[in-house]
């Protein structure tokens, strides 16, 4: 269960009345890899297989869906168990994480040990996106994609308590959309969904409702998604990483306006 009805007192103009309102329920989910505890994520208790898969991909433990042998959910213990194929050498001790850094909460930040691990994987795979030949997308595709994402984020419209993320093709066709109380979780879920579908990322657009921080950009770089667009602002860490890795970063994409922070040559009028 990830939502419930609660009694509230609503004041509207000169009227005060008792009503029922829908609120979201946070869950604490443990992810185990090869029976070893890896991380505890505070999230919505839905799309957990996609969340776990996207997270493992983002931090470089897996590179494709075929790296996973079995993934299953234990609802009674609030756990996701992932068993990797024998060719993947994994030991959670190599992460050298403290108990605190093993928890990813709703403040939407990734503790620095995870961030460092992601950067190491990016360096290993030489993940700077090639701008030649230049991939271009119409600004109308960006605008329509943002509208389509908002149409399909039902929990946000109903509760206002979560973030949404979506992935589109370059024509603006929606491939997947997910919601979560954490913006990074929502992005892990859409990345995980594409991994399940065994689709390529390099000709896609990632959209989000949340701030574009360095953590978010690193996830897109890891997936080799060339364009990120959000309803919200970008911050310096996100802009710097997007510029360095060849990502087109777009913020405040609302109505017929947008701010393009990096590599604007990909967006045409």
24-45 pLDDT per residue, tens: 999 999 999 999 999 999 999 9
Same domain, 179 and 57: no
Full residue range of the structural domain in which residue 259 is found: 137-268
Residue found under tokens 């994480």: 97
**Catalytic option among 24, 33, 62, 108:** 108
Last residue of a domain, one of 124, 157, 182: 124
Domain-embedded: residue 10: no
Same domain, 172 and 82: no
Q: Is 27 exposed, middle or buried (0-12, 13-18, 19+ CB in 10 A)?
A: middle
Helix, strand, coil % (nearest 5) of the chain? 35, 35, 30
Same domain, 142 and 248: yes
Element at 237 (helix H, strand E): helix 236-245
Q: Is 70 exposed, middle or buried (0-12, 13-18, 19+ CB in 10 A)?
A: exposed
Same domain, 147 and 241: yes
Length of the chain: 269
Domain-embedded: residue 88: yes
Domain-embedded: residue 68: yes
Active-site residue 162, yes or no? no
pTM of the model: 0.91
Parallel, antiparallel, or unpaired for β 36-43 and 79-84?
unpaired
Last residue of a domain, one of 124, 156, 179: 124
Same domain, 243 and 155: yes
Same domain, 143 and 263: yes
pLDDT for the residue 1: 83
Identify the three-state secondary structure at position 213: coil
Domain-embedded: residue 7: no
Last residue of a domain, one of 103, 124, 145: 124
Domain-embedded: residue 14: no
196: domain CATH number is 3.40.140.10
Same domain, 238 and 264: yes
Same domain, 111 and 149: no
118: domain CATH number is 3.10.20.10
Instruction: Count the domains in the chain.
Output: 2
Same domain, 117 and 143: no
Residue 162, pLDDT > 50, answer: yes
Domain-embedded: residue 107: yes
Domain-embedded: residue 5: no
Given pLDDT bands bounded at 50, 70 and 90, which one contains residue 135? confident
Domain-embedded: residue 167: yes
Q: Enumerate long-range contacts of 233-238, CB under 8 Å, 24 or more apart.
A: 233/259, 234/259, 234/261, 235/211, 237/213, 238/211, 238/212, 238/213, 238/214
pLDDT for the residue 130: 66
Given pLDDT bands bounded at 50, 70 and 90, which one contains residue 126? low
What is the spatial distance between Cα 63 and Cα 43, in angstroms, rounded to a whole number? 23
pLDDT for the residue 100: 43
Same domain, 108 and 147: no
Same domain, 77 and 48: yes
Same domain, 36 and 113: yes
């Amino acid at each position: 269960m990830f939502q419930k009805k609660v009694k509230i007192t609503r004041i509207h103009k000169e009227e005060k009345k008792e009503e029922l309102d829908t609120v979201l329920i946070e869950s604490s989910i443990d992810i185990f890899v090869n029976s070893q505890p890896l991380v505890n994520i505070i999230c919505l208790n839905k799309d957990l297989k996609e969340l776990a898969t996207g997270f493992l991909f983002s931090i470089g433990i897996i590179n494709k869906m075929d790296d996973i042998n079995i993934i299953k959910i234990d609802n009674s213990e609030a756990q996701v168990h992932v068993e990797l194929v024998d060719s993947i050498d994994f030991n959670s001790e190599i992460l050298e994480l403290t108990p605190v850094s093993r928890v990813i909460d709703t403040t939407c930040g990734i503790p620095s040990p995870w961030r460092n691990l992601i950067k190491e994987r990016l360096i290993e795979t030489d993940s700077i996106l090639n701008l030649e030949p230049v991939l271009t997308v119409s600004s109308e595709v960006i605008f329509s994609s943002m509208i389509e994402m908002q149409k399909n984020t039902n929990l946000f419209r109903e509760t206002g308590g979560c973030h949404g993320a979506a992935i589109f093709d370059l024509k603006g066709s929606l491939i997947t959309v997910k919601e979560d109380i954490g913006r990074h979780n929502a992005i892990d879920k859409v990345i995980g969904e594409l991994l399940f579908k065994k689709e390529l990322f390099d000709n896609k657009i990632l959209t989000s409702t949340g701030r574009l921080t360095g953590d978010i950009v690193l996830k897109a770089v890891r997936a080799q998604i060339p364009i990120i667009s959000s309803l919200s602002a970008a911050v310096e860490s996100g802009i710097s990483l997007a510029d360095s890795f060849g990502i087109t970063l777009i913020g405040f994409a609302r109505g017929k306006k947008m701010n393009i922070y990096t590599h604007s040559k990909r967006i045409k009028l």
